[in-house]
Structure 1
Amino acid sequence: MTTPARLTVLAGPTAVGKGTVSADIRARYPEVWLSVSATTRAPRPGEVDGVHYHFVTDDEFDRMVADGQLLEWAVVHGRNRYGTPRAPVEARLAKGEPALLEIDLQGARQVRASMPDARFVFLAPPSFEELERRLVGRGTEGPEERERRLATARIELAAEAEFDHVIVNDDVARATDELIATMGLPTR
């Protein structure tokens, strides 16, 4: 019988590079299973349904919540909902496979309440100014949305102490390797 694996939860503020670090893990550490969240937001250019997110309607999301199909879910930046489908996470952990959730602070708190033995990792920016530069540089939000996200980021940065580990994302490959080492896996 396989021993259940320990779940790792990666959270941090908007534009800190959670998606970039996750993409680096996908490319360099294929043995790590990365959960694909459901969201009610529209896809950004280049995002693929089922790979980056499961893009669902509000009605579909409501059904998932009502049926208990989400491990966690939240309204993010006051607009769209994001959530982690429960069944795939539980299946991976039962097989003893390394599993990683890339979620926001609200979701991390929900997972902590239901899975307190998970490993919680906060991805931090080198500075708030760098975080703002990254958010502006990606060009996916207008000025109003950027301000909303930066206001949320200030709150999220204050929650860093709630996490088991903090990794500063000053270099993607280094941050990825530190996350992998924190998960107890060999780096390469």
Structure 2
Amino acid sequence: MLRRPLAGLAAAALGRALSDGMSGPRPVVLSGPSGAGKSTLLKKLLQEHGSIFGFSVSHTTRDPRPGEENGKDYYFVTREVMQRDIAAGDFIEHAEFSGNLYGTSKAAVRAVQAMNRICVLDVDLQGVRNIKKTDLRPIYIFVQPPSLDVLEQRLRQRNTETEESLAKRLAAARADMESRNKEGPRHWSVLRRPASCVLSG
């Protein structure tokens, strides 16, 4: 079963949420800096509680990283296609980072809700601000790294960042953490422990 602080997550998420024709359990929005542990938490949730949670696959215009699969990690699309679909109102949220677009489509959320599973969205704070303008009423969880030094170490270990992109990610992480702290606990549940310690084995 889920340990605290996720002990009440499933129960809370089972409240119905309506947004632009969507119906189903309340979604869960995971946010936090790249490298904070969101992917580890998602993997644990889906491996151990796949009958309860489902992942909303985001769209992006960036190139796939080694090992990433289209339709599993992201939907990799061209900027032209994504801008067209955004203009058509097909996205709940979208944001741009380092010259690439990221976003969550309504269809991706509907697909998870249609299975009566709790839809988990992985978005940055730009996306969170867009979601807060909707009637989706998700539960917000901020995954916070132990420190910026630890975060930098994790990002360097990936070997996917240039010094320039690393500096941008660390600056964005600092801004995200400061913004989240200003909003306070009324708006966010915060996970500071490693994701592997949050769920029981």
CA distance in 1, matches of 2:50, 2:169: 31
In structure 2, the residue matched to 1:6 is 26
Question: Residue type of the partner of 2:117?
Answer: E
For residue 108 of structure 1, report the CA deviation from its aligned partner: 1.1
Q: Once the 2 structures are TM-superposed, how far is the Cα of residue 94 of structure 1 from its aligned partner? A: 5.8
- CA RMSD, Structure 1 to Structure 2 (Å): 1.9
Please give the TM-score of this superposition, normalised by the length of structure 1: 0.85
* Residue matched to 2:20: none
CA distance in 2, matches of 1:65, 1:109: 16
Distance 2:112 2:73 in 1: 18
* Equivalent residue, structure 1, for 2:9: none
SS in 1 for 2:103: strand
Match of 1:66 among 80, 87, 91: 87
Distance 2:67 2:167 in 1: 24
8 Å CA contact 1:74–1:81 kept in 2: the answer is yes
Partner Cα distance (1:52, 1:34) in 2: 10
Q: Which of 150, 154, 166 matches 2:174?
A: 154
2:46 alignment partner in structure 1: 26
Could you give the per-residue CA deviations for residues 13-58 of structure 1, whole angstroms, max 9, x where no partner exists? 1211212221222222212111000000000000000000000001
Question: CA separation in 1, counterparts of 2:114 and 2:70?
Answer: 26
Q: Does 1:81 align with 2:104?
A: no
Instruction: Please tell me whether the aligned partners of residues 92 and 131 of structure 2 are also in contact (alpha carbons under 8 angstroms).
Output: yes
Percent identity reads 35
Q: Which amino acid aligns with 1:141?
A: E
SS at match of 2:170: helix
Gap runs ≥5 in structure 2: 1-14, 17-23
Structure 1, unmatched stretches of 5+, are 178-186
The counterpart of 1:132, out of the listed 144, 152, 157, is: 152
The answer as to 2:117 corresponding to 1:97 is yes
